[in-house]
Amino acid sequence: MKHKRFLKNQVRLEIQTALTNIPLMSLVTIPIFFVEVHGYSRLYDHIDEYGWIYYIFSIFFYIFFLDMSIYFIHRALHHPLLYKSVHKPHHKWLVPTPYASHAFYWIDGFLQSTPYHIFVFLFPLHKWTYLALFIFVNFWTVSIHDGYNAVPTWLQNIVNGSAHHTDHHLYFNFNYGEFFTLWDIIGGSHRNPRPDLKTVMDKDLDERISETAEVIEKLE
């Protein structure tokens, strides 16, 4: 974390931002969780209610639904009408760390979490699997902010990993997806990271950030 583009005390600031906003986001999401688990959603308790085939399908469908929905919400947050007031705090981390994964304005976090909740009001999902997937999504969110490219080169056209999301912070208008590159490819916002990119300490990082600064200045 020695790169000159790191903000002074950035990790502390990321943690502070997260600790300030997570409680606020929780205030609006806890009531939704309460409604979900008390019989007002389509969460169910026993796998045999819908069978194993639907159970397995629902997991993949849930991930697909999140990936699609978050793509469009995230892209909308980059619109000038929303960026400055809602999404800008998350993008001040030009070189993000794992702590940046939850360092955003609470409205931003709430908006990007709405697909998790909308799904279970529309489609049946096993209750404990829902909890496990929610935990998985949080781990995934941390992993794509860690700056280390763990996705094999042959999968980078499919999986939206840390290198893709690092490029999102650096290039700004690319790689809005959460898990996969599908919607970025469809929406014309896909940018494949360099095959040899390993960490955010790459020697060409300054050049990439300079390109991004011009775009951000226009929105501010």
Please name the amino acid found at residue 62.
Answer: Y
pTM of the predicted protein model: 0.85
User: What was the pLDDT predicted at 86?
Assistant: 95
Asked if residue 1 is part of any domain, the answer here is no
User: What was the pLDDT predicted at 153?
Assistant: 78
pLDDT of 194 over the 80 cut: no
Asked if residue 2 is part of any domain, the answer here is no
User: What was the pLDDT predicted at 68?
Assistant: 98
Asked if residue 206 is part of any domain, the answer here is yes
Q: Which two tokens stand for residue 91?
A: 């993008």
Query: How large a percentage of the chain has pLDDT more than 90?
Result: 64
User: What was the pLDDT predicted at 123?
Assistant: 98
Structural domain total, the chain: 1
Asked if residue 40 is part of any domain, the answer here is yes
pLDDT of 126 over the 90 cut: yes
Domain hosting residue 99, numbered range = 10-219
